[in-house]
Structure 1
Amino acid sequence: MNRLAIVVIGLMLCSACGERAGNSEQKGKQDAVNVGADKDEHGCIGSAGYTWSKLKNDCIQIFDAGFRLNPVAIEKDKEVISAFVLMSNDQSKIELFLPDDDQHSILLNKTGDLIYGNDTYRYDAKKSVLYVKDQVAYKGNVE
């Protein structure tokens, strides 16, 4: 008799666990549907790290496609938010992706030997330095 009671209780416990697992699996499927629902006007999925590039005319992951520039002035106990530079294949233009900028990105034309700029921004690709209003703001790790 004790054996039968143990088997019945064991089966009840297993079926209860199986039901919870099924509910969890169903919830996981619902969550999977919502992932990627944050497409922008170009179809880029921000939650997957994609952003629109005017230069490439495509969705890119800037941290893979671009070159990282870190801020020169780093405040203590603040997170470091990098800028990124993406260069055109023919090296005639660059696209800047800056943190805390109202614009999505900024296109700069070549103005000299690997120098790109406009009235506000100037990027020296040889030194990997981005100047904002003639002040060094970001630097890359060039060895």
Structure 2
Amino acid sequence: MKKIITLFAVAFIFCSCKLNDQQEGKQEVTVNSTPKDSTVVNDKDENGCLASAGYIWSKVNKECVKGFSGIQLNPVDKPDNEDETLSAYVLFSEDAKQAEIFLPRDTTSIVLTRAAEGKPWILNDWQLVPWKGYVLKKGDKSLFSGDGEIGKKVTGTDTEQ
């Protein structure tokens, strides 16, 4: 009698495990066949620069560049500014005849040209003057200035970040 009860118990456990495995397999099929969210974020600009990664198109260098790269120019009224979004950035062409200015909160850049070494880069009423670093002016008003060093500046330290 003990052998029969043991045999039934083993058969019962075996069948219930087999049934459980089949049900789990069906659940997996159901879960896997559920359509996934197929929303694709395409934030590349017309030049193929990935905006979400901070890249923008450089007209001067003809390539995607990081938005906060180049020489940082802080607002004249906030020289110790640590908020990168308030600063302008300058990239130069290889021959340094052109300076591309990326202004804060502006999706396009302006390209300034200079006539000779030592002269300012100019476009209409914009000027980039090489003086104790660089000063960006619009008309007679100085808007941004910087020391001419590339990269983000941290006030109160000797090092760049």
TM-score (norm 2): 0.58
Following TM superposition, by how much is the alpha carbon of 1:105 offset from its aligned partner in structure 2, in angstroms?
0.6
Structure 1 SS opposite 2:52: helix
Q: Which residue of 1 aligns with 2:122?
A: 117
Residues 45-73 of structure 1, C-alpha deviations (whole Å, 9 max, x = no match): 11100000000111111323x11101112
Unaligned runs of 5+ in 2: 1-35, 150-161
1:58 to 44, 54, 63: 63
Is the aligned partner of 1:41 residue 2:46? yes
Counterpart Cα distance in 2 of 1:47 and 1:118:
30
More helix per residue: 1
Q: Percent identity?
A: 39
- Residue type at the aligned position of 2:129: D
Q: Which has the higher contact order (CA 8 A, sep 6+)?
A: 2
Number of residue pairs matched?
112
Q: Given the alignment, which residue of 115, 119, 138 partners 1:132?
A: 138
Tell me the C-alpha RMSD between the 2 structures.
2.9
Query: Offset at 1:133?
Result: 1.3
Is this contact kept in 2: 1:130–1:137, CA < 8 A?
yes
Structure 1 gaps of 5+ residues are: 1-26
- Runs of 4+ more than 3 Å apart: none
Counterpart in the other structure of 1:67: 71
Number of the residue aligned with 2:96: 91
- Larger-gyration structure (1/2): 2
